[in-house]
Structure 1
Amino acid sequence: MDFERQEERIRTMLEEATTDSSGESSSEQETDHCSEHELNSETEQEGDDSVDVSSNSRQEEVAVNESCNDPEDDLPLSLLRQRDSASRQVNGPFYTSKDGTKWYKNCQRPNVRLRSENIVTEHARVKNTARDAGTEYECWNIFVTTNMLQEILIHTNSKIRQRQRDNANAADNANCKAPSYMQETTICELKAFIGLLYLAGVAKSNRQCLKDLWRTDGTGVDIFRTTMSLQRFQFLQNAVRFDDKSTREERKQTDNMAAFRSIFDQFVQCCQNAYSPSEFLTIDEMLLAFRGRCLFRVYIPNKPAKYGLKILALVDAKNFYVLNLEVYSGKQPPGPYAVSNKPFEVVERLIQPVSRSHRNLTFDNWFTGYELMLHLLNEHRLTSVGTVRKNKRQIPESFIRTDRQPNSSLFGFQKDITLVSYAPKKNKVVIVMSTMHHDNSIDVSTGEKQKPEMITFYNSTKAGVDVVDELSSSYNVSRNSKRWPMTLFYGVLNMAAINACIIYRANKNVTIKRTEFIRNLGLSMIYEHLHSRKSKKHIPNYIRQRILKQLGEPSPRHVNIPGRYVRCQDCPYKKDRKTKYSCNACAKPICMEHAKFICENCADLDSSG
């Protein structure tokens, strides 16, 4: 009985220790100490058996006290109630969407410190071998490499040889020699052809008739005529190829873009290897104008060209560097290129070069989705901001209503994502979702418009791809073509010039204008071909003189061999007039039409004067 009584007193004492101590007085605490002293004195008188019992009770007491050290259990009941009420006050009332998603009116994570997802680990910089590029051509050669040019050269010469055979068959003579403009090309001439495309873009003449650029009446562009003939340029433009035609049909069984796949993939890989972008990126679509026959040509009514080839791009929102590209090639046949074209999967493929780098993505309402933004944050450590379509099931009804005061905003918060509905004017609302912003801050610089910071941030970073489109169109190299691979090639050249200019500015630490950069690039690609062309015998002498002038080399003195007829230097090339006379001052061969006659007396006076 004494043992049971002692055990009961121990349990009672432990229960009193865990109850609310706010109402206890100092006298009651002294009583507890006295009772504990009495208990100890009684247990000491019990003998050996009672000692075992007391030790067991103490172990039980220690175990109970250790279990009470938990932060949740150690709090008094009144404090627990206050904490629960405070938690309900933080969460506050909430909005409910169609699918039951709750958006709280109050911020759920009012952290003072910067969130980990907003700490960028990498910044804009040139990397790898691109840091060694010093000239305009070297920067451009990073993106359109020598291997790519060699591949284009091989397939182009293959097409030229086919043209030569077709020309011989048409003449019914297998030994018929092809015209000079149908000869095989070289890597030097191929670069000169691309350089002329860049110079035409700088001169805003990309869509101009080629005959106007080669005119000899003073209205043409002299550099075009001295680099190659009009007939040769048109022939190369029609003969350029990017893949092996003999295996194309086999590759088309698994890839609609087989005719340009190799060159395009190499270009995209070079873009990713040469530069690390800034912390803000943009994902959007661009359209390359094309109205020819193509399986994956699209129609986008809000684009200026409306018809063309759609490219989905990942672009730096600060300096507009093109980092990743994907051509929309329609529904691909079964194989390695049969991928989904849904927004979720498209974004998943585009962001691979920057995954887990804590950067931010900005995209429009075609891409924005609740599941996508949380997936980017949790799986790729990327924040995102984008406008949202009003038919999304995660949007509460009150956020869509347009009967609100202009310049008013509604905020909805969750742990990792924020929603805002802004009314810029009457009967219109704009909805933006973000995993980067977590409060209801208003941008004070917008004045009476009271735009949320989420809106102003989206406006400042949404135009990355649109600016690339604008830069490409300002010095566009594209020409009218019925072949979609050529349209993609022109687009690659435009984006290569943009990226090369960014690399050049970063390496040289200069602010060169794009006009000057592209002009210097085009001329540097032409000069090598001009050096080889000046020594050819079949070109007219007046063309040779212009080449030497463009290269900055002095014109050689003409030596006319007596009795030998040579072409007059002042006659047009079409006349091809031969003469045995030459100028006494410069020894230039001239015909009688361009010679001036004076009598001996005048000649003597001229020489004496």
Structure 2
Amino acid sequence: MAKKNLSDKEIENLLMYEEIPSDTDSFAGGDGSDRDQSKIEEIPQGEQQLLLGEDLFPSDEEFDSEDEVPLSQLLGRIQPATQAVPLLAQTVRPPKWKKAYTILAPDNFTTASNLPDETTSLAASQQMTPLKILNLLWTDDIMQHVTFHTNLYAEQKGGTYKPVAADEMPVFIALNLVMGVKKSPSYRDYWSSSPDLRDEYISHFMSLSRFSWILGNLHLNDNNLLPSRNNPDYDKLYKIRPFTEMLRESYKKNYNHTEKIAIDESMIKFKGRSCLKQYMPKKPIKRGYKVWTKCASSGYCLDFDIYSGKVGNKVETNLGGNVVRKFCEGLADKNHKVYFDNYFNSYELQVDLRQKNIYACGTVNESRKHLPTLKSDKQLKRGEYDYRVSDNQMASFMKWKDKRCVLILTNFHDPRNEVHVRRTEKTGERVEVPCPLALKDYNENMNFVDKFDQLKGSYAIDRKSKKWWHRIFFHFIDCTVVNAFIIYNCVSRTLDDMFIRICWHLLI
């Protein structure tokens, strides 16, 4: 059998063996890249950089002769500089998990007003009205944008038409809002000749033909500039992109981030044909457009991003973590607390956020990388829990048993802190069982997006259309009204039928 000569690279890989951890240490890493970090921590700071990739080999000055130089260093000289890849720079170091470790305590959040100075001064001057609040979010620029592109689309279609006047578009939007309160099977019923269907109030402001014409020609971008599908600049959301970006900036500008923030998925109901449509069987709205949403503790929508699927043929990895990182831009070193569910959560994300002084908590899938093995479900009784803390003191992992086991991964909760929660037994008896404080905190603060969806669904426009983007447009009209409602509640606690007030002010 012929002998095979090993290449220089293969020899180096064989020489770079790893120290096998003892049975008493708990490592989590499923990618085969475990490394004893305690060995690195014992080395002085200047020498740690050598292990982290600046230079894996010592200089020749440390040896008296060429014979004492390690073979691995000699092999390193043979390799070109472009091929020398640091060993630890390619993957995240798997942590060691122990109960003896303690997590770093969070810093206090600097209390700030939820409203910016401009809104606060407007409220102090006693000039705050529902219409003025709505105009803070749905600005004149947005209204002019919608009016301009509606007329542009009618011009591009050709034929004779009457352009939408500056005062017609607010009336059109207001009529849709009122139709969300007084629902009929079809919008044509409001102009019906039958007295039991006709609505004198709605039909008074605009004729049926004019309302139908505006609805049919409604547009938010120039179709002639739409890039082809083969163009690198092609955007699946081109038809609504300028409109949504203007709204995002408006939402951010008119409300400050609260200490506690929730990030979750929201759904826009749509059952037609669209490449953007998602199916989520566990959501109340199972088919429609997925929207990543960031909400404040009051339910105010601080930011959003419509999910458009993969870009090109490239499959995006770690999508949930990237969504959280994008929403947390600008929050570094402000000690905010962010809550999200197991779709987004991971050990790498928790460490990344903690390094930026952003505190995070959420449920997690047990199959995520770098998590330790805790007690099995059968070993835990109701009210019992098991936990581990990472050696870098930036993550704690807990499993608590209720009817089922719940897994929590957080970067600021001490797992030894516990509270008692009330549970109902099969006999109907109410009992108190111990529970980690992290889980109670998560349950109390994870529902901010659900609170926003609940407010929005109370009087949603719910306009059906064959045009895929119409659903998104009317969805964000509802979102703007909800945000205006929350701002109004911050400055006035004597609110009566604010929704109708906004509609009425727009109509007159």
2:131 aligned counterpart, secondary structure: helix
8 Å contact kept, 1:254–1:332: no
For residue 126 of structure 1, give the secondary structure of its aligned residue in structure 2: coil
Does structure 1 residue 524 correspond to structure 2 residue 508?
Answer: no
| Alpha-carbon distance in 2 for matches of 1:212, 1:274 | 37
1:28-82 C-alpha deviation (Å, 9 max, x unpaired): xxxxxxxxxxxxxxxxxxxxxxxxxxxxxxxxxxxxxxxxxxxxxxxxxxxxxxx
Q: Distance in 2 between matches of 1:104 and 1:129?
A: 50
After the TM superposition, which parts of structure 1 deviate over 6 Å for at least 4 consecutive aligned residues?
338-341
CA–CA distance in 2 between the matches of 1:103 and 1:152?
A: 55
| Pairing 1:443–2:443 present | no
Q: 2:386 aligns with which of 396, 410, 417?
A: 410
Does residue 420 of structure 1 match 2:395? no
Aligned to 1:352: 329
- 2:227, 2:234 within 8 Å by CA — same for their partners in 1? no
* Deviations 1:536-595 (CA, angstroms, capped at 9, x unpaired): xxxxxxxxxxxxxxxxxxxxxxxxxxxxxxxxxxxxxxxxxxxxxxxxxxxxxxxxxxxx
What's the offset of the Cα at 1:96? Answer: 4.3
- Greater fraction helix: 1
Q: Is the 8 A contact 2:398 2:408 kept in 1?
A: yes
Is residue 390–residue 400 contact of structure 1 (8 Å, CA) maintained in 2?
Answer: no
Q: Name the structure 1 match of 2:114.
A: 125
Give, in angstroms, the shift of residue 334 of structure 1. Answer: 10
- Residue 327 (str. 1) matches residue 306 (str. 2): yes
Question: Match of 2:277?
Answer: 297
Which amino acid is 1:408 matched to? Answer: E
**Aligned position for 2:476:** 492
Aligned pairs, how many?
Answer: 404
Q: Residues 246, 164 of structure 1: CA spacing in aligned structure 2 closer, same or farther, 3 A cutoff?
A: closer
Mark the CA change 1:154 to 1:469 in structure 2 (over 3 Å): closer, same or farther.
same
Conserved? CA contact 1:118–1:436, under 8 Å: no
Summarize deviations over 1:325-351 as a string: whole Å, max 9, x none. 11111223599xx98771222111111
Query: Which of the residues 169, 189, 192 maps onto 2:171?
Result: 192
Checking the alignment, whether the CA contact within 8 Å between 1:128 and 1:273 is kept in structure 2 is: no
Contact map agreement 1:385 1:435 (CA 8 A) in 2: yes
CA contact (8 A) 1:97 1:394 kept: yes
Distance 2:172 2:333 in 1: 42
Distance in 1 between residues matched to 2:148 and 2:162, nearest whole Å: 14
AA aligned to 2:303 is: N
Is contact 2:377-2:401 (8 Å) kept?
no
SS of equivalent to 2:294: strand
Deviations 1:402-438 (A, max 9, x none): 342122111212312211100102xx31110111212
Partner Cα distance (1:142, 1:339) in 2 = 36
1:492 shift after superposition: 1.2
Contact 1:417 1:438 in 2 (8 A): no
Cα distance in 1 for residues equivalent to 2:318 and 2:351: 20
* Distance 1:499-1:297 versus aligned 2 partners, 3 A rule: same
> Structure 1, unaligned stretches of length 5 or more?
1-92, 166-177, 528-609
For residues 353 and 208 of structure 1, the distance between their equivalents in structure 2, rounded to whole angstroms, comes to 45
Q: Note closer, same or farther for the CA distance 1:376–1:153 as it changes in structure 2 (3 Å cut).
A: same
The residue number in structure 2 matching 1:51 is none
Secondary structure of the equivalent of 1:191? Answer: helix
* Residues 1:291 and 1:396: Cα distance change in structure 2 (over 3 Å): same
The CA distance in 2 between the partners of 1:139 and 1:367, in whole Å, is 34
Offset at residue 250 of structure 1 (A)? 5.6
Who is 1:70 aligned against? Answer: none
**How far apart are 1:261 and its partner, in Å?**
0.6
Q: Structure 2: 5+ residue runs without aligned partners?
A: 1-23, 35-94, 423-430
2:350 corresponds to which residue? 373
Equivalent-residue separation in structure 2 for 1:267 and 1:435 (angstroms): 32
Question: Is 1:154 matched with 2:138?
Answer: no
1:355, 1:221 → 2: CA distance? 52
Counterpart code for 1:376: L
How many Å separate the matches in 1 of 2:261 and 2:420? 25
The residue type equivalent to 1:136 in the other structure is P
CA distance in 2, matches of 1:215, 1:209: 10
The match for 1:396 among 362, 372, 379 is 372
Distance 1:289 1:243 in 2: 22
SS of equivalent residue, structure 1 residue 356: coil
Q: Percent identity?
A: 22
What RMSD, in angstroms, separates the aligned Cα atoms of the two structures? 2.5
User: What SS does the aligned partner of 2:386 have?
Assistant: strand
What are the Cα deviations for residues 299-335 of structure 1, in whole angstroms up to 9, with x where unaligned?
A: 112223322111101111x201111111111223599
Q: Which amino acid aligns with 1:431?
A: L
Give 1:387's aligned residue.
363
Give the 5 Å matches for 1:533-572: none
Note if contact 2:270-2:288 (Cα within 8 Å) is conserved in structure 1: yes
Give distance in 2, aligned partners of 1:144 and 1:299.
30
1:601 maps to: none
**Aligned partners of 1:151, 1:281: CA distance in 2, in Å?**
31
Q: Residues of 2 paired with 1:189 and 1:492: CA distance?
A: 19
TM, length-normalised to structure 1: 0.62
Kindly provide the amino acid, as one letter, of the partner of residue 512 in structure 1: L
Partner of 2:8: none
Letter in 2 for 1:192: V
The higher radius of gyration belongs to 1
**Is 1:474 aligned with 2:455?**
no
- CA separation of 1:235/1:339 partners in 2, compared to 1, >3 Å: closer, same or farther? farther
Q: CA deviation at 1:156?
A: 0.6
Partner Cα distance (1:185, 1:98) in 2 = 61
The equivalent of 1:512 in structure 2 is 495
Amino acid at match of 1:141: N
* Distance (whole Å) between structure 2 residues aligned to residue 275 and residue 267 of structure 1: 13
Quickly say closer, same or farther: Cα 1:141–1:402, change in 2 above 3 A: farther
Task: State whether residues 400 and 421 of structure 1, in contact with CA within 8 Å, keep that contact through their aligned partners in structure 2.
Answer: no
Q: Quick check: 2:374–2:399 contact (8 Å CA) kept in 1?
A: no
Match of 2:75 in 1: none
